[in-house]
Amino acid sequence: MKPVSTIGRVFLIGAGPGDPELMTLKGLRCLQHADCIIYDSLVNTELLQHGSATAECIYVGKRAGTRSVSQEEINSLLVKRALDGKVVARLKGGDPFIFGRGGEEAEALAQVGIPFEIVPGITSGYAAPAYAGIPVTHRDFSSTVTFVTGHEDPAKEGSRIPWDEIATGTGTLVFFMGVGNLEEIVGTLIQKGKDPNTAIALIQWGTCSDQEVVTGTLATIVSQVSATGLSTPAITIVGEVVRLRDTLKWFEHRPLAGKRIMITRPRHQAQELQKQLTELGAEVVPFPTIEIRDPITWEPLDLAVEHIEEYQWLIFTSVNGVVRFFRRFRGRGRDLRELKGIRIAAIGSATEKQITEMGLQVEVLPDEFKAEGLVESLKGKVLKGSRILLPRAKIARDVLPVELAKQGAQVDVVTAYESVLPADGKDRFFRILEERPLHLLVFTSSSTVSNLAELVKPETLPVLLPHTAVASIGPITTKTAESLGLHVDIQPRQYNVGSLLNAITDFFRPQQ
């Protein structure tokens, strides 16, 4: 064994029942500082994005009916990584100590003297019922709740489950992962004295966008589940509290409930849209197809900043251009007051907002948020011989400089940032598709479309996403998507995020 000083540490973390927002703050903090993340099949992979960019991620998921990593192999992996001096985040669905085999993993660590901590998580045993509108306890129905494994065969001899007691009690019963044994569980409960008319519910993918709930009685539930095709992972609730679902269900009533939506814009720019979609009930999968980086050289931009007083117009086409330009502007010791007399034009309400928040005024903002609209809006305002500074991405459409030059302006295009493909994009994209279907793919710029298409080569997006709807923020983005074989289902009348959100909501609104 290595000296104690070189041994790492293991955090056994409950990742919650599926909704990534149900992760605890302590769990998130431990995840952020881990060198290695070892995670299960029921862990929402969106949580992995909170880990370090350099963290090693190892999947050890186990599912009924599929070949999986054994518990002994997982224990050995935890020990090995810790002995290598790593800080290990062991992410487990729900709570590690509630049918999560966390106790066995903690024992394996304790046996070789590896430091560990247990970080409890929200268990699906009460979270999934809560999202289905079923309180596991209620003053009028049940004062106790019993968690029971659904893996044990009720017919076997020497059962550790006290069937006689739980069948005749009045409390709520919660069976974990019992779909495969549902018929045996229900039959045993009735045989041991449970009223066949007792209410029961099965909740598949509880707290996730595609949560499904089937309710019935002990006498009817087996045939109901068979008819719906509901399968693992699922929680089974037995008790009269199930009858409160019709009154208390809330999760399904939100406008975008049940929809899994992927956003392809850079993560820092997607936060507001993600928040709004989530509040409307969607499960949002952030998948940035663009990473924003500094240009290879700042020389052209720095030169423009040094001679800023020579320009009559400053044009911005994106929030990134604004942020990167002014960061460099101030870094070179310049003051915003030195922009006095320089007129500012912008494309997009978000770009305008970024500028005005610095106390500057945007003089020209086109009604149509694209280059052609700005060219039209600048007619008669840009005088012949005017010098225009256009800080933008390294690769962009040339409509603005070409058309403004036709009006007699001198346009200096300088690179303020570069848009590049994310390093691990392809592997992560295919992991997301393997988890559960996507209902909608959202593109907010042409580059988000072309970058995603580039990532998945040699496959094509239409082949990979035959049943996924597509939303585009505007006609330029739509044109790019269609050129790659995608059918665009949603495009707002106004080309901004607020209108896009409304268009998405309208698209999924049930037809009257």
Active site residue 262: no
Going by the DSSP 8-state scheme, the letter that residue 71 receives in this structure is: H
Catalytic residue among 23, 35, 86, 177: 177
Strands of 26-115 (E only): list them. 36-39, 56-59, 87-92
H helix runs in 292-442, sequence order:
299-306, 319-331, 349-356, 371-378, 399-406, 425-435
Residue 414 host element (H or E): strand 410-420
Catalytic residue among 19, 35, 40, 95: 40
Active site residue 358: no
8-state DSSP, 21: G
* Pair 239, 48: CB distance under 8 Å: no
CA-angle at 38, arms to 35 and 43, nearest 5°: 125
Distance CA 326, CA 52 (A): 28
Task: Calculate the alpha carbon distances from 146 to 174, 186, 219, 349 in Å.
Answer: 6, 16, 21, 54
Residue 40 annotated in active site: yes
473 Cβ contact list (under 8 Å, min separation 6): 443, 444, 445, 491, 492, 495, 496, 497, 500
Contacts for 444 with CB less than 8 Å, ≥ 6 apart: 263, 264, 265, 269, 273, 473, 477, 497, 500
Let me know the angle formed at the C-alpha of 422 by 85 and 84, rounded to the nearest 5 degrees: 10
Give every strand in the sheet of 87-92, ordered side by side.
56-59, 36-39, 87-92, 9-14, 116-119
SS3 497: helix
Active site residue ranges: 40, 62, 177
